[in-house]
Amino acid sequence: MAGLAAAFGSGAMTNSINEFDDADLFFIIGSNTTAQHPLIGSRIINAVERGSKLILFDPREIPLAQFATLHLRQNFGTDVALLNGIMNIIIQEDLHDRLYVEGRTEGFEELKKLVGRYTPKVVEQITGIRSSELYRAAVMYAQADKAMIIYAMGITQHVTGTDNVKTLANLAMLTGHVGRPSTGVNPLRGQNNVQGACDMGGLPGVFTGYQRVGDPAAVKKFEDAWSVSGLNTKGGLTITGMMEAAHKGTLKAMYIMGENPLVSDPDITHVEQALSNLDFLVVQDIFLSDTAALADVVLPAASFAEKEGTYSNTERRVQLARAAVPPPGQARSDWEIIAGLCSRLGLAADYRGPADIMKEINALTPSYGGITYSRLSAGHGLQWPCPNVDHPGTVFLHREQFTKGKGSFLPCEFKPAAETPDDEYDFTLTTGRIYFQYHTGTMTRRIDLLEREAPEPLVEINPEDAKKLGIRSNDLVELESRRGSIQLKAEVTPRVPKRVLFTTFHFREAPVNRLTNSAFDPVAEIPELKGCSVKIRRCS
């Protein structure tokens, strides 16, 4: 969000899922789409089978590789150099959209100067991608009429995550591939309502609709609506910042909703110490997760099938969901729990239901102004921005101009990962998801069918590395980083390149985030979950 907002003025997916059907080319980087977003992945496969081209950048041979027109396996953490090299070729070959650049953007000369240093030979040394392959990718993307950039957490979960996103935005603007159907820069969000949570102010420095807490006009509007005064204008802490403050003892209490940081956060040992250091911990969830087991108070929440409300998905589409069954026992909808707590703390929260809350959202959030309950009840959802009830919603962003006016080229230099292999920790470990499990497994690991398909974690290791270390498939191995160690079974496979290991974070029996690095991006404070240095040995 930080990278796209800086470049375009809006930090959301620029285009829509239906537009995948008409794209001429997909430029996918940092996304194992069929595992993370399988329905979108199937759309991409169907489009490729109808004739669309696919450029895939991924060090692993993921399932999409078999459908790729071009699969390039860059070295871990070298995406900025890779993308700068592509832009170098596009400019040198005069393939950039001059009219678009001159009319709709600013900062081109600074970009041209910086990427001029990223010649194909220089980029080959950094990324491991041959100059000829880089050239082919650059020409294919630049010459496509409708090209869609697609990325996910493989781009963002790095210490250079914001730079990675800015550089993708640079590439799209350079070629005029934004502001038209079946183009754009399209992040695929990691959870089913992450977009909605952010839209509703689930970030430390904004009210709903990304209205800054430091904006006096926004502060007054919300103070008047809520009949309060003295709202905080400085913003708060990110998750990374909260854990550090708890560890230091400056944060005394924490309220965690629907999150299981004892499995999903980096450097779990540090997280355990931070949560144990709190004076008071509240966890609101549908099951007793690892984190909830530590809580002083657990508030039982209703699941998605047991409550009414809206979801804002990855394409900015707000959709209405109805309860299929009543919640069990004392479980309540999240809004009921929060409203009850507000009332006990002296803040009036006399909502009669989600429809009342949506009316407040309509009144206070310009991009949601026309997304009313009655309109959502009648159709298939609306995409923001939708400023009034006569507006049809916005299928793609930045049609005639960017949200901020002119788009900004934001040149970024390549910086290496926070942790790189050395003589002792001589492998790079990267993590991700698999098709059959989801996030920390709180729900999916309770389903017998999914457990049958993927019952335990495996670490992928290249055959050449495995042979040198005497490791065979299904051998028990130990992975160790500077922060801890875990044991799990090996899978010997050429899917991963030499000196790279891959595993998932779904399994509490071998919590890989006991190993991962808590170093974070300085802008968005996203931790570098996608890579750390480890050593591996076969357990005797």
Q: In terms of CATH architecture, what is 427-538? A: Beta Barrel (2.40)
- pLDDT for position 399: 94
- CB burial string 247-271: b at 16+ within 10 A, e below: beeebeebebeebbbbbbbbbbebb
E-assigned strands of 225-308?
253-257, 280-285, 297-300
Q: Would you state the pLDDT for residue 159? A: 87
What is the predicted pLDDT for the residue at 385? Answer: 97
User: What pLDDT score was predicted for residue 517?
Assistant: 86
Cis before 385 (ω within 30): yes
- Residue 302 one-letter amino acid: A
- 152 token code pair: 């996910």
Whether the pLDDT of residue 466 is over 80: the answer is yes
pLDDT band of 303, cuts 50, 70, 90: very high
The pLDDT-based confidence of 3 (bands split at 50, 70, 90) is confident
Pairing of strands 427-432, 532-538: antiparallel
Region label for 488, one of left (φ > 0), alpha (ψ between -120 and 50) or beta (otherwise): beta
Q: What is the dihedral of CA 323, 210, 30, 136, to 10 degrees?
A: 130
- So what's the pLDDT on residue 170? 96
The answer to whether 189-236+301-381 and 237-299 have equal CATH topology is yes
Hey, is 126 helix, strand or coil? helix
Proportion of the chain above pLDDT 90, given as a percent: 86
Scan for tokens 């790729």, then name that residue.
68
Dist CA 166 CA 503 (whole Å): 28
The pLDDT score that the predictor gives to residue 255 is: 97
Question: For 17-26, how does the pLDDT look when each residue is reduced to its tens digit (9 = 90+)?
Answer: 999 999 999 9
Q: What is the second-level CATH architecture of the domain 2-188?
A: 3-Layer(aba) Sandwich (3.40)
Q: How far apart are CA 455 and CA 51, in angstroms?
A: 37
Give the Å distances, CA to CA, from 394 to 39, 175, 286, 317, 398. 22, 23, 34, 9, 10
Distance, CA of 172 to CA of 136 (rounded, Å): 17
- Copy the structure tokens of residue 20: 């995948």
Whole-number Å distance between alpha carbons of 26 and 20: 8
| CA-closest candidate to residue 313, choices 460, 199, 182 | 199
Distance (Å, rounded) from C-alpha 519 to C-alpha 516? Answer: 9
Q: Are 326 and 344 in contact (CB under 8 A)?
A: no
How confident is the model at residue 505, as a pLDDT? 87
- The pair of three-digit structure tokens given for residue 59, joined into one six-digit string: 């060090």
**Domain extents in the chain:** 2-188, 189-236+301-381, 237-299, 427-538
Averaged over 429-436, what is the pLDDT?
91
- Sorting pLDDT into bands at 50, 70 and 90, what band is 294? very high
Answer yes or no: CATH 3.20.20.70 is held by domain 237-299.
Answer: no
Per-residue pLDDT, averaged over 75-98, amounts to 96
**CB neighbours of 501 closer than 8 A, spacing ≥ 6?**
427, 428, 429, 430, 459, 460, 461, 479, 534, 536
Output phi, psi for 103, to 5 deg.
-90, -25
Tell me the C-alpha to C-alpha distance, in Å, between residue 410 and each of 9, 102, 163: 13, 15, 9
Q: Residue 529 pLDDT more than 90? A: no
Between 520 and 381, the higher pLDDT residue: 381
**Two tokens at 77?**
């953490």
**Token pair 């596009």 in the structure block, residue:** 90
How is residue 115 written in tokens?
């990427």
In the DSSP assignment, the letter for residue 520 is: B
Instruction: Single out the residue of 384, 375, 285, 292 nearest to residue 334, CA to CA.
Output: 285
DSSP annotation of 302 reads P
Q: In the structure encoding, which two tokens stand for residue 468, read together?
A: 């040198």
Confidence of residue 402 (pLDDT cuts 50, 70, 90): very high
Predicted local distance difference test score (pLDDT) of residue 504:
92
Q: What percent of the chain has pLDDT over 70?
A: 100
pLDDT at residue 292, as a whole number: 96
Q: What pLDDT band is residue 224 in, cutting at 50, 70 and 90? A: very high
Residue 206 carries which DSSP code?
A: B
Asked whether the predicted pLDDT for residue 540 surpasses 80, the reply is: no
In tens, the pLDDT along 111-147 reads 999 999 999 999 999 999 999 999 999 999 999 999 9
CA distance 153 to 135: 26
Fold designation for 189-236+301-381: Rossmann fold (3.40.50)
Mean pLDDT of the chain: 94
Mean pLDDT of 260-273: 92
User: How many other β-carbons are positioned within 10 Å of the β-carbon of residue 226?
Assistant: 15
Look at residue 520 in the predicted model and tell me its pLDDT: 84
Evaluate if residue 409 carries a pLDDT over 90. Answer: yes
Number of C-beta neighbours around residue 151 at 10 A: 22
Is residue 41 a contact partner of residue 163, using CB atoms and an 8 Å limit? Answer: no
Q: What is the DSSP letter of 128?
A: -
pLDDT for 299 equals 97
Q: What is the mean pLDDT of residues 197-219?
A: 94
Does the structure show a pLDDT above 90 at 302? yes
pLDDT at residue 1 is higher than 90 = no
How is residue 237 annotated by DSSP? -
- What is the residue whose two structure tokens read 């396996």? 73
